[in-house]
Amino acid sequence: MLMIGGALIIWEISIYRKTIIDVRIPILIIIITGVIANFIDRPYFSTYETKWGNGFALLQNFVSWGFIVCTLFMACNKFFAKPESTIKEYRIEKISDMPGPKGMRSHKSPLVRIDYKGKPKELVFSHKYLGRIEDYQTVTLETKKGFFGFDIIEKQELNK
């Protein structure tokens, strides 16, 4: 389960980037699920005689069960979204960049922050926009209402 939960972290992050949701909600889902799973698993991990036994069990439950449940929540919100979409333009509030993966830190991706219905949202764009991201003033988003009510970004486009 630890490997499954660990692998789902990557998928969950990609879904999170396309979802308009407060970061505290997925974190709470992970923590609450991990704590509940830890109480259920407590009899099995109490046989370990190491000082890390309980800490390892808690970490394992956060990573495995917490991320499995959080990924299911985010995936249901995305894949069972309502079919109707809306298109709206948003002003770019802030521009920054995100470093690339390990070994390719210089391969940065531009980030733009917008105010989406009173909530800040960072959008990641392709590396090809990095040198000229300052030329863009607005972002057009095509969104759908997710299954649990959190908006899903279907398409994002930079505008000059």
Query: How many domains does the structure of the chain reveal?
Result: 2
Residue 4 CA to residue 15 CA, distance in Å, equals 17
What string of pLDDT tens digits covers the 160 residues of the chain? 778 877 888 898 899 999 999 999 999 999 999 999 988 887 776 666 666 667 777 888 888 899 999 999 999 999 999 999 999 999 999 999 888 777 777 778 889 999 998 989 999 988 888 788 889 999 999 999 999 999 999 999 999 8
Q: How is residue 82 written in tokens? A: 């309502």
Q: What is the pLDDT of residue 155?
A: 95
User: What order of strands is seen across the sheet that includes strand 85-98?
Assistant: 119-124, 109-116, 85-98, 138-145, 151-159
Phi/psi of residue 106, each to 5°?
Answer: -75, -10
Packing angle, helices 67-79 and 24-45, rounded to 10: 140
* 89 and 138 Cβ atoms separated by less than 8 Å: yes
Residue 89 and residue 75 in one domain:
no
Which one of 79, 96, 120 terminates a domain?
79
Residue 17 and residue 67 in one domain:
yes
Place of tokens 């979802």: 19
By residue range, what is the domain housing residue 145? 85-159
Q: What is the pLDDT of residue 45?
A: 67
Place of tokens 């099995």: 44
Residue 65 and residue 121 in one domain:
no
Residue 8 and residue 70 in one domain:
yes
Residue 51 and residue 116 in one domain:
no
C-alpha closest to that of 124 among 115, 111, 136, 133: 111
Please give the model's pTM, rounded to 2 decimal places. Answer: 0.82
Residue 26 CA to residue 17 CA, distance in Å, equals 12
Residue 90 and residue 146 in one domain:
yes
Residue 6 and residue 39 in one domain:
yes
CATH number, domain of 133, equals 2.40.50
Which one of 53, 79, 105 terminates a domain?
79
Residue 62 and residue 98 in one domain:
no
Residue 113 and residue 131 in one domain:
yes
